[in-house]
Amino acid sequence: MFKKILIANRGEIACRVIKTARRMGIQTVAVYSEADKRALFVELADEAVCIGPAPSAQSYLVADKIIAACKQTGAEAVHPGYGFLSENAEFSRRLEEEGIKFIGPKHYSVAKMGDKIESKKLALEAKVNTIPGYNDAISGPEQAVEIAKDIGYPVMIKASAGGGGKGLRVAFNDKEAFEGFTSCVNEAKNAFGDDRVFIEKYVLEPRHIEIQVLGDAYGNYVYLNERDCSIQRRHQKVIEEAPSPFVDPDMRRAMGEQAVALARAVQYESAGTVEFVVGADKSFYFLEMNTRLQVEHPVTEYITGIDLVEQMIRVAYGEKLGFGQDEVKLDGWSMECRINAEDPFRGFLPSTGRLVKFEPPVEREDVRVDTGVYDGGEISMYYDSMIAKLIVHGTDRADAIRKMRDALNEFVIRGISSNIPFQAALLEHPRFCSGNFNTGFIAEEYPQGFDASMVPHDDPGLLAAVATFARMRYIERAVQISGQMAGHGRRVNKELVVLMGADKYPVSVEDLDGGLRIRQGEKTYDIVSDWTFRDRLFKGSVNGAPVCLQIERRGLRYHISHFGLQVQPMVMTEVATSLLERMPEKLPPDLSKLLLSPMPGLLREVAVQPGQEVKAGEKLAVIEAMKMENVLKAEQDCVVKKVVAHPGASLTVDEVIIEFE
């Protein structure tokens, strides 16, 4: 077996590879940019080599620097993770020439599957179902319209070298086909340096279902069941699960056999994923093959018991697969939530900065956390927004959903925003729970975006009761102050009011063995917990049922998070409540004459000058964060008074960029 391997990646996937390599007795080398010098993966690796500045184009994407690091450290092989150079055929070919093993498929397999037009032709030859379409280069928008009419609307116009939702348009008529083709060509040229575009039939109510395959150098191939990745937002996966609630055993076998046929056709040696788009009628069509480890690979590992990273390493070393198709099991149900540094209540804008508190759920047999960050670490603006992957394993789908909800309740992140409230809302959604969804689910159910009102909670009185419990614990500590005059100690009022948003909850409190009994009218909450003030997690039981939520005191309020819902109740006496109602309302400041940064990031461009008249919809500024450019536009006609921030500035949330007259 290899004695030492280099990991040409960063973050959680680098940590993930190190974990398996360490178990196999293999030493690891990390390569890192200057922005990642204190990153967790650098600390976990046996050796680490700095390969350049923060931008990935000057570090993680420079093959020469990675090859030099291999020679410097004596690494015999390279695991590329996903992203960066993982699907770069030229990189794997150069490693081969240098006598360094690439822990992944051969360069010719990567090249054939990396080109979407070429891969579709190969799929046809291998008798894999393909979507009706036009696979040759298209001369211009006029030809694109004619092709679209021949196929029949709706059609999908897609860049051959595309990915991540770039260079992709859906057209329902001639006008959209004409304009979509032009946009795709421009996007593809800018993003990938390749302006080739193809057109295919757009499948209505599509599901995104993928088959995990494994192959070795001796012609042995297996498929490891399917993953359903249909819950997507803007073509980015949000929740993945295995198996799929839509796939039956016959369909699984048919899709698996076709995936293996394609892998065999390109002499595939490693772990790879064949992606299918599946229609409502259970017809399935080849989409593309990812010639690398997928982000969502842990759900397959849970239901099969197979470590995919270990299999990749063994195959790269030259070993045969140690099992056949009949030995691949399907045990229970697994789900993965991608925990991203983004604010779901502000249009999912990136959120960067320091992780003031990072406490993931405790890992156990059925809960796994793959992450590359730590308490006090930094979320950088230079790389993607994923903080962690939360994976659970249940006996069936309902059990997996329940475990994921509970695990999200336990996941404490402070200092930056995360998409946990959105994930929790999805897991509570009746349509998701029924399994009746497709790739349009999020766009259909949240057409105006996401806000706090969309987070359901079946018992807000419970949150008021827990806030009361916390308040009473604080009062119990306060009454123990020393130096009180005899007979003049503080009398604890046990008739209180909880103010939560526009709602009032009058409560009365009684002592209970190990806790408190809190009455709200006809409802009673018997809360037993050993919670202390330093705990952000409130664990205990309410009326005998276990409960876990997040709570912390900030001023007069108790910030509570439970199943994605975030509330800030105040617990007061009736007198204090009546006095509060007499206080004048504090109006928010007028921000209409300011352009504020909606997120932390780098100010790339200011498109206006002082004194300039600006029309509604015109570009004002461009902010870059986490590999995404965000264009800020004028919401109404205005005149620029002053440009406060200038290009190159690092902005915080709500920092002033421009003042208007």
Residues in contact with 206: Cβ distance below 8 Å, sequence separation at least 6, in sequence order: 230, 277, 278, 279, 438, 439, 440
Tokens of 118: 């070429």
Count of CA atoms in the C-beta half-sphere (13 A) of 184 = 28
Three-state SS across 242-264? Answer: ECCCCCCHHHHHHHHHHHHHHHH
DSSP state of 482: S
**Whole-angstrom Cα distance, residue 386 to residue 342?**
9
DSSP state of 509: E
CA proximity to 617, closest of 599, 592, 637: 637
CA proximity to 134, closest of 114, 124, 126: 124
Residue 209 and residue 244 in contact, taking contact as beta carbons nearer than 8 Å = yes
Residues in contact with 43: Cβ distance below 8 Å, sequence separation at least 6, in sequence order: none
Q: To the nearest 10°, the Cα dihedral for 156, 267, 269, 371?
A: 0
**Whole-angstrom Cα distance, residue 144 to residue 130?**
19
**Whole-angstrom Cα distance, residue 377 to residue 358?**
9
| CB atoms inside a 10 Å sphere around CB 215 | 24
**Whole-angstrom Cα distance, residue 71 to residue 287?**
38
Tokens of 465: 């009761």
Residues in contact with 519: Cβ distance below 8 Å, sequence separation at least 6, in sequence order: 507, 508, 509, 510, 525
Is position 288 annotated as part of the catalytic site?
Answer: yes
CA proximity to 271, closest of 226, 316, 334, 325: 316
CA angle 81, 84, 89 (to 5 degrees): 90
Beta-bridge partners for 288: 275
DSSP state of 490: P
**Whole-angstrom Cα distance, residue 526 to residue 379?**
40
Residues in contact with 342: Cβ distance below 8 Å, sequence separation at least 6, in sequence order: 348, 349, 350, 351, 385, 417, 418, 419
What's the Rg (C-alpha) of the chain?
A: 28
**Whole-angstrom Cα distance, residue 337 to residue 388?**
9
Token pair 């009218």 is found at 521
Catalytic site residue from 87, 240, 288, 552: 288
CA 258 to chain centre: 29
Task: Say whether 160 sits in a helix, a strand or coil.
Answer: strand
Task: Say whether 454 sits in a helix, a strand or coil.
Answer: helix
**Whole-angstrom Cα distance, residue 82 to residue 9?**
8
Q: Which residues are catalytic?
A: 288
